[in-house]
Amino acid sequence: MLTLIKTKVQIMNYETAIAKLFNEIATDYAVWCEKMDYSSNKENPAKEMIDQLSISNGRKYDRIVRNRNQRCVWGFIVKEDTEKFKKGDILLAASWASPATNKARGNIFEEYNISWTQPNYLF
């Protein structure tokens, strides 16, 4: 019974967790712009980044895409629990169509460490 309740909470919070992830990406981008003194050319770098991010639904994974001059994959989010991953796991992109399935880089329902360019590498 407890597992069922947890699953319902995750389903209800999936969109909120994705929005939080987008905000974290945008915040990291704004910090990077400030460090590189790149923000002087931009009114609101965080808003610019948020506007560029979108999610593309797939069968097993949701793809996080950044649309700027060209589309690029930021990473993937696991949609359902599997043997190796749990719902919400953040995966690095191996290519446009597939994630790197060696290990999750975090989970959108828990704490994670990302950068605006991609999920952080394993250390």
Q: What is the pLDDT of residues 103-115, one digit of tens each?
A: 999 999 988 889 9
Residue ranges of domains in the chain: 2-107
The structure's pTM equals 0.83
Closest among 83, 81, 99, 80 to 91, alpha carbons compared: 99
Cα–Cα distance measured from residue 116 to residue 102, given in angstroms and rounded to the nearest whole number: 21
At 99 the pLDDT is 96
CA 105 from chain centre, in angstroms, equals 10
At 38 the pLDDT is 65
CA distance to 32, 41, 95, per residue, from 87 (Å):
29, 39, 21
Q: What is the pLDDT of residues 49-105, one digit of tens each?
A: 999 999 999 999 999 999 988 889 999 999 999 999 999 999 999 999 999 999 999
Higher pLDDT, 16 or 36: 16
At 11 the pLDDT is 47
pLDDT at 43 over 60: yes
